[in-house]
A and B are shown apart, each in its own frame.
Chain A
Amino acid sequence: MATTTVLTTESPDRWKYLNNILTRSGPYTDEAFTPGDFPKQFLADAKILVIGAGGLGCEILKNLALSGFKDIHVIDMDTIDISNLNRQFLFREADVGKSKAEVAAAFVMKRVRGVKITPFNCAIQDKDDDYYRQFKIVVCGLDSVEARRWINATLVNLVDDETLIPLIDGGTEGFKGQARVMIPTISCCYECTLDMLTPRAAVPLCTLASIPRQPAHCIEWASVIQWPKEKGDLKLDTDDPEHISWLYTQALGRAKEFNIPGVTYAMTQGVVKNIIPAIASTNAIIAASCCNEALKLATTAAPYLDNYMMYTGDESIYTYTFQHEKKEECPVCGNLPQNLTVDPESTLEQLMEKLQERPETTLKKPSFRTSSKSLYLQAPKQLEEQTRPNLEKKCKELMEEGDELSISDPGMPFNLRFIISFS
């Protein structure tokens, strides 16, 4: 086969500098590092998974291919949008609408000889434990907290005598970003650090409904109140320009009524899609940091990041590199339940709403159990109907101080555990 010939004739000079750090020890390398063929072979054989083929993902695929990884998988369920082109450099205008994973994989394979990239145009939840078990390292370039929590819990659950898959995670916002290395059960996991995310500042419904003051209040009124009222069951699609235009016109009318200046189309889009500014430069920094760590983990050619690096570029350049601690009461990798103070007079439904405000307890469809009974179950339908009346009951009727409350969610492969105390 022609391809085989091409591979075998690859010049030894191509990977000269990469090979130098694999065949020579450095002043900072661990004593256990054996320079030579071993790390080179490991790198060539190691299967590595990339989750996300967007801003970070495109960079990660390029970087891994040029780091000597030969067997890469990539998962992304998204298609290419015009607003991706200012940073997702493996895509062109003609690619708009195609699968990100497929276009990105094909581009990097064409450019970098000898690398095999297997794309999957699907959700990470579509793959099972056996699929994930085949990888030596997982690198994430995602914009979703939920997906990160899912893959994190999945990798922690996979830990056994033969399996320990490090998770490397990157994230950016504007000129800022972070890269981190998580060794399941050894260092802190993604769930351990969820409380670092800023809680959602929800605008009270009454402000939206009757006393708007900001352009964002008018836009949220349009999407939260007007859309369901006027459009009934039609689901709001924030990627549909006609839907955005409708919201924009509604918000503009609302703003005019209350003399509120500043509603724009771009702001409407920003508010309803929760758009985070993103640029190529920051993605490059964070993706490269993640891949540098992947290379170090795979070869031990230099000590890896333990375990968190934050980059801030909007005012001079500042990095904060530190070890984030593992949380004993982490619902994913810890052993202890968390403490939860509950107002005994509030209803179970109110408790449910309150939990949604904190990133570490945000769940899509939570079910509640104590050790002795089921308080509220989302499924099956029969049990949901049976337990629904409990939503109206006060917490003091349903639980006692010291009870262990367990909350599960079909989207998360773990339970949140709380010891209840009353305020």
Chain B
Amino acid sequence: MSVPGAPTAKEKKYDRQLRLWGAGGQEALETAHILLVNATAAGTETLKNLVLPGAGRFTIIDDAVVTDEDLGTNFFLDDSSIGLSRAQKTCELLCELNPDVKGDYINDSIENVIKSTPEKLKEFTIVLATGDIVTSTLLSLDSILYPLDTPIFVLKCVGFAVTCRLALSEHTIVETHPASTVDLRLLNPFPELLALAEEKAGSMNDKSKMNTHDHGHIPYVLILLRALDDWKSTHDDNVPSNYSQKNQFKSFVRSKMWDADEENFEEAIAAVLPHFNSPSIPSGTKAVFEDEKTKSLTSSSTNFWIVARAIKDFAEKNNGLLPLPGALPDMKAESKDYIQLQNVYKSKARADLAAVVEIAKSLLSELGKPADSISEPEIETFCKHAGYIKLIRGRSLKQEYEDSPNAKKISNEISEPTSLIHYYLGLRAYESFISEESNTKRVAPGVEDSSVESDAEKMDKYVTEILDKLSITHSPELLEGTSKAIREIVRVGGGELHNISSLAGGIVSQEIIKVITKQYIPMSNTVVFDGISSRTEVYEL
């Protein structure tokens, strides 16, 4: 098609997702290499949701042979797969979903890969471990991947219970996708904005100098700036600061209407509460500014930290104001007045950006890096989101299991009958069970009808061991919720239910996309889903 701007074939195919994460997010996804450990139903469902939007590559490590039980839960296997390598067959059927994606498999156990070719694990952008994996293997994966900053997801799905743990050592997000980035600077206007207010709204109170049509089309931003000027002259030069003053100011603006149906004035009045805020640096941004990595840049600092530092320095020189994002909401106005106002904000945003670029260049030169090693569009995106950036410092599995378990959180939750911490403890006990009871052959709790109750009692014992290790005092009464969760887990006999695994695959693939694209905010750090009450809860463990 000859129409300029018409979408390419790829843009057409991925249209519905590009509207969420844009070309930048898509590129990150397409260069990612995802490792799935064990092709369980939850694992293949997760990969399905990543192959479809075009994740670059995936590899499956699994030494299992396809059984009939797999066919009852896993959609990416069929009758002809029985008896063959599960890694190979699921890889083949997943690859059918999207010719843009490359799939590989290793028909071996993760334990063997860790033992014989641990360097193989360094190839992956992200690792998802599912199925029955013993604790020692999880901790080995953690000890290899966590120091490399490779995010690890550990997903457990047994019956109606799901937990997913994300071990992510450091994650920085610029594009958090806030609902709005508008900053109108009403309480600290810059000169160009004040000049425009004077030009367009200077005669706002004077019927001899302005006609009613023009009065009804003054952009509300300029109405507010002009009214603020009047207000300050009778309030010792102070702006309305508390709730009651702001309400008085709203009445003051209303008194300036010439006609009861002037929409622009109604818009002005509605904008007072949301936009009359004294400038302050939001907590997420402050956390980045105060981080050691911002304060002491080194030659190995990544772009995020260098730009964060440039913006921090900018704000310090600029009365604590972050660079202006430059966005302007729609408002009742004549086209040309609105565009003029929009350009005033945009010019200021461009000037702020130029100042930040200059600072970044000098920082780069101090660090001995080329001045152009960070592109202007990258700095621009950062400036637009400066008030909304986010730093997540996660915790390793070793911290959760051994070094510094969050005993306080668990102990606070444990007496709550409807808390989902019971499923967390139940699935930790499940992991202990398969770690301890399986010798040469996998043994899951509740496999045989006759062992359901005795296996549940063993699981009770594993929970008390975990709690003892955390020095959490417990009693049978206190553990009633956990005991029920354990019995629900044992009921299914150590297997997956397709719906629950598919749902879990949806949750985890959303999180993986957020981590890979570095857009939106991933959960930190454990999500529990209960398929019975249809609830999730996120715990930092």
Contacts and interface: CB of A to CB of B under 8 A. Distances in A.
A17 B500 CA distance: 12
Contacts of A16: 68-69, 72, 493, 495
A15 interface: yes
Given A175-B20, A285-B507, A292-B503, A241 B6 contact: yes
Given A28-B488, A86-B14, A14 B493 contact: no
Given A317-B511, A321-B534, 7 more contacts: A110-B78, A113-B71, A175-B520, A281-B509, A311-B536, A314-B177, A317-B523
A105 B415 CA distance: 47
B136 interface: no
A83 B15 CA distance: 6
Contacts of A283: 506
Contacts, number: 250
A282 B79 CA distance: 29
Given A66-B75, A248-B5, A316 B521 contact: yes
Interface string B481-520: 0001001100111111111101101110111011000001
B73 interface: yes
B49 interface: yes
A266 B11 contact: yes
B3 A212 contact: no
Contacts of B99: 93
B16 interface: yes
A11 B509 contact: no
A286 B496 CA distance: 18
Contacts of A291: 499, 502
Interface stretch (A39-47, A191-199, A256-264, A410-418): A256-264
Given A21-B159, A21-B497, A319-B535, A27 B488 contact: yes
Contact of A319 (B339, B491, B500, B534): B534
B52 A87 contact: yes
A24 B456 CA distance: 14
A111 B484 contact: no
Interface residues of B, number: 87
Contact of B527 (A13, A266, A279, A317): A317
B83 to A, nearest CB: 12
Contacts of A219: none
Interface string A277-320: 11111111111110111010000001101000101011111110
Contacts of B331: 213
A283 B52 CA distance: 12
A21 B509 CA distance: 27
A73 interface: no
A174 B494 CA distance: 33
B18 interface: yes
Contacts of B522: 316
Contacts of A213: 330-331, 333, 335, 338-339
Interface string A85-111: 111010011000000000000000011
Contact of A85 (B13, B18, B20): B13
B538 A277 contact: no
B502 A317 contact: no
Nearest to B481: A27
A212 to B, nearest CB: 6
A113 B446 CA distance: 27
A27 B499 contact: no
Given A86-B16, A317-B536, A280 B49 contact: yes
A265 B72 contact: no
A265 B12 CA distance: 11
Interface in B1-44: 1, 3, 5-7, 9, 11-20
A59 B502 contact: yes
A30 to B, nearest CB: 11
A245 B335 CA distance: 25
Contacts of B334: 211
Given A59-B502, A89-B48, A279-B16, A20 B538 contact: no
Contacts of B330: 213-214
Interface of A: 11, 13-18, 20-21, 23-28, 59, 62-63, 66-67, 82-83, 85-87, 89, 92-93, 110-113, 174-175, 179, 211-214, 241, 245, 248-249, 258-260, 264-266, 269-270, 275-289, 291-293, 295, 302-303, 305, 309, 311, 313-319, 321
Nearest to A285: B506
Contacts of B314: none
Contact of B160 (A258, A284, A285, A302): A302
Contact of B20 (A110, A174, A241): A174
Contacts of A211: 217, 333-335, 338
Contact of A288 (B67, B96, B159, B503): B503
B431 interface: no
Given A27-B487, A288-B506, A266 B534 contact: no
B344 to A, nearest CB: 14
B484 to A, nearest CB: 4
Contacts of A24: 449, 452, 491
27 contacts: A13-B67, A16-B495, A17-B493, A17-B495, A18-B498, A20-B493, A21-B491, A23-B449, A26-B487, A26-B488, A67-B499, A85-B13, A211-B335, A213-B331, A213-B338, A213-B339, A259-B336, A265-B5, A275-B16, A279-B53, A280-B509, A284-B503, A288-B500, A293-B534, A313-B507, A317-B510, A317-B536
A187 to B, nearest CB: 14
A315 B524 CA distance: 10
B532 interface: yes
B455 interface: no
Contact of B534 (A85, A86, A179, A287): A179
A175 B11 CA distance: 20
Contacts of A321: 533-535
B513 A281 contact: yes
A277 B16 contact: yes
A318 B511 CA distance: 12
Interface in B61-111: 67-69, 71-73, 75, 78-79, 96-99
B54 interface: yes
